Chains A and B, each alone.
Chain A
Amino acid sequence: MRITCPFCGERELGEFTYLGDAKPQRPAADAGEDAVYDYVYLRDNIAGVMSEHWYHGGGCRAWLKVTRNTLTHEISAVEPAAGAGAAKVGA
């Protein structure tokens, strides 16, 4: 498997580290324990296309948002994860 880093180009899997679901957004400071609990622990277990966080530690050290099909491992999009997990405006 290879991932095309938007900064470095197509690179081998071994250069990357997987984190997990890129969907959860870190709750605002006043969001309360339940919201943070959900953020820390609750994940969908998706059989199909999902967006994930990957770290290009063996390259540019960018965190990437990778759209990957968990059934086929097909990667349909890779973009910088900048701000992907940031608290919503008004936080």
Chain B
Amino acid sequence: MRGDQANRLNDGGLIDRSTPLNFRFDGKILFGFKGDTLASALIANGVKLVGRSFKYHRPRGILTAGSEEPNALVELRSGARREPNTKATTAELYEGLEAASQNRWPSLKFDVMSVNQLFAPIFVAGFYYKTFMWPAKFWEAIYEPAIRRAAGLGRAAGVSDPDHYDKAWAHCDVVIAGSGPAGLAAALAAGRSGARVILCEEDFVLGGRLLADGGTIDGLPAAEWIARAVAELEAMPDVRIMTRTTLFGVYDGGTYGAIERVNDHLPVPPKHQVRQRLWRIVAKRCVVAAGAIERPIVFAGNDTPGVMMASAMRSYINRYAATPARRIALFTNNEDGWRTAETAIATGLQVAAVIDARPDVSPAHRALAGRGGFPVLHGSVSGVDGGKNGVRKISVSLTGGARGEVEADGLAVSGGWNPAVGLTSYHRGRPKWRDDIAAFVPDGAPPGMAAAGAANGAFGLGACLREGFEAGAAAARDAGHSGNIGSMSVADDEAFSLTPLWHVAGKGKAFVDQQHDVTASDVELAQREGFESVEHLKRYTTLGMATDQGKTSNIAGLAIMAAVSGKSIPETGTTIYRPPYVPVAIGAFAGHHRDENFHATRLTPSHHWAVEQGAVFVDTGLWKRAQWYPRAGEKDWLESVTREVKAVRSGVGFCDVSTLGKIDVHGPDAGAFLDRVYINAFSSLAVGKARYGLMLREDGIVYDDGTTSRLAEDHYFLTTTTAKAGLVMQHLEFCRQVLFPELDVQLTSVSDQWAQFSIAGPKTRDLLKEIVDPAEDLSSEGFPFMGAREVALRGGLKARLFRISFSGEMAFEISVPARYGEAMARNLMIAGKPFGVTPYGTEALGVMRIEKGHVAGPELNGTTTAADLGLGKMMSTKKDFIGRVMAAREALVAPNRQVVVGIKPTDKARRLRSGAHIIPKGETPGPENDQGYVTSVCFSPVLDQWIGLGLVERGRERIGEIVRAHDPLRGEDYDVELCNSVFYDPDGGRQRG
């Protein structure tokens, strides 16, 4: 079961050898152990070639052992769960894992697109701009698809993601990013003081670099110290440890973004569990102990498989017991890199040579070289021989000018360390340069945040523990916790010496950004062509713009730019740092808000009954509204809708209108308040009466309309349109609280409390008599048109009854508490059966309102005035109201404004379409002759033809004029007649009857 893991050491490492796992890479079955990453398992199996590069399709291997990896990107899983561009270095191995290399065809070993290398001159910096300029139309059709095929990353699954993602909030005193020595020390100090702590670690094991580099802390081996620290933290009730969780961003007010990869380490998330969870963590303080990233040195052939960061090589050997090479060469410019030689010797691997760019090497390391029997070469690596099978031979430029060669199958490289300054720089902070470590370190941080340890440029183990502990204690103190923090863990600080070295001149491509195939000569070219600013350099060469965001390349790129432009590195500066620190799946940001849960769904009180009736529903904002109720044998929606309209106009029908916004207005000044928010008067409205009201915005444009009734001296019941329900409430609260605080009035939203039905048609009273208590007088005298009052229903339930009509028929609206809404619908059906009662949907509602010339959403479109809608006379001249002054502006009262008018095709068989433009007869269609457009249309069963409303210049003065309806979108042009907008029962006799 363990397979041939040729490069697996016989013992050691943090892998669980009792749990062997099999996995597939490009179809081949391989074996690894629990505790492996995909990268470490590939290394254990001797796989060196993992992918092809983005532009040149060069063979690439594994460069790092963490989330900074530019090369070892794979497609993980298959089918709907296929996830491209997954870093093999962070993907945890699981039983049955499937991974495929990317960007190669037909196979990884033989890739035809590697001929791109022969055309390398056209792929230089700025090649998009230079090569594919002309002709413009070739871009979309030819250039871009060809480039996309030739250069690229992995393939998306192409089907819907079957997994769930979650979003969650957490609150704490101190959030800590990273669980290396600094992070653990910070958590111990903060936790002991009594603070609520969240410790985020992106790895699946706590310990950070200690896992690879070991060391002695408080006299204990690192592993023992970690175990002790973790046990202490786990015993604290207010400390939460979150592994597989990356803190990726910091936002206003101490809010931190974190992504928890809850089940990425399993083939499929367990039932009812999410794959990932996006956390928003609100913390009073934050300690960034995110460590540092070892940086490469740029030299020719530095992308050859087998070239690896020195620290990564130690990780693979020490943590995973996997040996990336048998005979290792080390190229370093600093003391820390030598640890890889120490590890190699301690593990029994061969060291071919250490190439050290510094003038001196410590006596201890000279002794190590003696013991290990390898030469120490003072100089630099200038080239690598090798290809898809990895490093073979290394060319060395020795100090003094001589050349040397080293035979090795692996090359470890250390150019020093860059503190992870992302989090501390996300609020446009600019890190500062420190000469002693030749690196940028945080220079301040967003409020409440502090960096500690390697993230702060403190590379020694002792310093990491000290800074972490102090930062954790300070953070807890600032958050108000002062418990006993106990004693600090101690360790020695290693010596640190470094001679900066960024780029070694040599023949062949030397890569700065390996993921985007940006070379040192691209950077130099950018400088020659004037793209010297780092922000220009980034965009011109795409340096640092790949999925790794240049974690291993940005600093090298700007250092090379600094060198060729004759400036210092701090003068050259860094680009702006922006979150997220690691790629976050869009699915995690969406969470559960996808598909039918994209937004909340509001159901009307009669929804379930309407479903039983077979209603077709339409989304109206968040609402599902019954649009029409098809019956067997009806061939299309129009037939159903026409039947519903006819049934209402000849008998009786009902429609759920509960979606209207409903607001109770209470108080002695309720009438005065409504006078100020409506253009017409409401204080004069008699108790027991309803009135149509129109609101303006303060700029004079119509805002909303609806019917408002006076139920008592100090109680009005106001309705709004469905669309504006929430906004009108907000607007009225603004008026009440901010503008008119002197008025004694209260507003209560009751939209969800009342189920409301419109009952319309000549037989409405007959039906209502079956529903309403017989003692209630529903006659024209007892309940006149625009009457409104509470009535008792049969059975005693109180309802509100309004004699208002949107359809133009004899009609009532009845409100019952929402919980009785469904029962009301059922009762109306039963009670109405003798009268042929017909439920109707929003479509029939719309037809009847157009026939009646009532304006609605398409006419209340944010550009129309009351006068445009034909409602100018409603504007009171006796009182001030919102929008009064601005509504009188010259342009808003201009005589040539587009106003609501009726429109019908001269050819009765012709279908009218909304959106058609109105052009005078004999004129050429175009903006200069455009006099308006058709806003609403319907097929009118009464007129037996298509009719509509439109906004037309001087429309009401032109009744009877024939104009053109010009519809370039649908390629139509036909004659229409401008007519009275009230097509049906213009004197209103039916609704008053």
Contact = CB atoms under 8 A, between A and B. Distances in A.
Interface of A: 1-2, 12, 17, 19, 26-27, 29, 31-33, 36-37, 39-41, 53, 55, 57, 61-63, 73-75, 80-87
Contact of B737 (A1, A39, A81): A81
Which 6 A-B pairs have CB atoms at the shortest separation, nearest pair first? A29-B880, A83-B741, A1-B252, A36-B885, A85-B738, A73-B252
Interface stretch (B506-514, B726-734, B938-946): B726-734
Given A55-B730, A61-B733, 8 more contacts: A36-B698, A36-B886, A40-B698, A53-B738, A82-B737, A83-B737, A85-B739, A86-B741
B132 interface: no
Contacts of A63: 733-734, 737-738
A17 B252 CA distance: 17
B742 interface: yes
B282 interface: yes
Interface string B879-906: 0100001101100000000000000000
A86 B880 CA distance: 14
13 contacts: A1-B251, A1-B252, A26-B698, A36-B886, A37-B886, A53-B734, A53-B738, A55-B730, A55-B733, A61-B729, A63-B738, A85-B734, A86-B742
Contacts of A2: 253, 255, 282
B889 A33 contact: yes
B975 interface: no
B967 interface: no
B699 interface: yes
A86 B886 contact: no
Contacts of A32: 885
B740 interface: yes
Contacts of B880: 29
Contacts of A39: 698
B590 to A, nearest CB: 15
Contact of A86 (B699, B729, B739, B885): B739
A6 B320 CA distance: 55
A61 B734 CA distance: 9
A52 B889 CA distance: 28
Nearest to B880: A29
A74 B572 CA distance: 31
Contacts of B885: 27, 31-33, 36
A22 B888 CA distance: 25
Contact of B738 (A36, A37, A86): A86
Nearest to A12: B169
Nearest to B736: A63
Contacts of B730: 17, 55, 57, 61
A82 B740 CA distance: 9
Interface of B: 169, 251-253, 255, 282, 447, 698-699, 726, 729-730, 733-734, 737-742, 880, 885-886, 888-889
A84 B734 CA distance: 10
Contacts of B886: 33, 36-37, 40
Contacts of A33: 885-886, 888-889
Interface hub of B726, B730, B733, B738 (most chain A Cβ within 10 A): B738
Contact of A40 (B251, B252, B699, B739): B699
A2 B742 CA distance: 30
B734 A19 contact: yes
Contacts of B729: 61
Secondary structure of the B side of the interface? mixed
Contacts of B734: 19, 53, 55, 63, 85
Nearest to A19: B734
Nearest to B885: A36
A80 to B, nearest CB: 7
Nearest to A91: B880
A42 B888 CA distance: 18
Contact of A1 (B255, B742, B889): B255
B741 A82 contact: yes
Contacts of A29: 880
A47 to B, nearest CB: 14
A20 B532 CA distance: 41
Contacts of B742: 83, 86
Contacts of B733: 55, 61, 63
Contacts of B255: 1-2
A57 to B, nearest CB: 6
Nearest to B726: A57
A32 B255 CA distance: 47
B169 to A, nearest CB: 8
A81 B252 contact: no
A82 B738 contact: yes
Nearest to B741: A83
B678 to A, nearest CB: 16
A37 B887 CA distance: 11
Nearest to A3: B253
Given A40-B699, A63-B733, A84 B251 contact: no
A86 B740 contact: yes
A43 to B, nearest CB: 13
Nearest to A32: B885
B725 to A, nearest CB: 12
A32 B888 CA distance: 11
Nearest to A2: B253
A29 to B, nearest CB: 4
A52 to B, nearest CB: 12
Contacts of A87: 739
Contacts of B253: 1-2, 73, 75
A28 to B, nearest CB: 8
Contacts of A37: 886
Contacts of A17: 730
B739 A26 contact: yes
A41 B697 CA distance: 12
Contacts of A85: 734, 738-739
A38 B436 CA distance: 59
A57 B737 CA distance: 13
Nearest to A62: B737
A35 to B, nearest CB: 8
Nearest to A84: B738
A77 to B, nearest CB: 15
A75 B254 CA distance: 12
A20 to B, nearest CB: 11
A7 B172 CA distance: 23
Contacts of A62: 737
A44 B255 CA distance: 29
A63 B253 CA distance: 21
A33 B699 CA distance: 11
Nearest to A1: B252
Contacts of B698: 26, 36, 39-40
A84 B447 CA distance: 31
B552 to A, nearest CB: 32
B743 to A, nearest CB: 10
Contacts of A26: 698, 739
Nearest to B733: A61
A27 B447 CA distance: 40
Contacts of B251: 1
B738 A81 contact: yes
B698 to A, nearest CB: 5
Nearest to A39: B698
B745 to A, nearest CB: 13
Nearest to A26: B739
B280 to A, nearest CB: 8
B720 to A, nearest CB: 15
Interface hub of B252, B255, B737, B740 (most chain A Cβ within 10 A): B737
B664 to A, nearest CB: 14
Contacts of A82: 737-738, 741
A57 B734 CA distance: 11
A83 B738 contact: yes
A53 B741 CA distance: 15
Nearest to B280: A12
Nearest to A65: B738
B780 to A, nearest CB: 40
Nearest to B446: A72
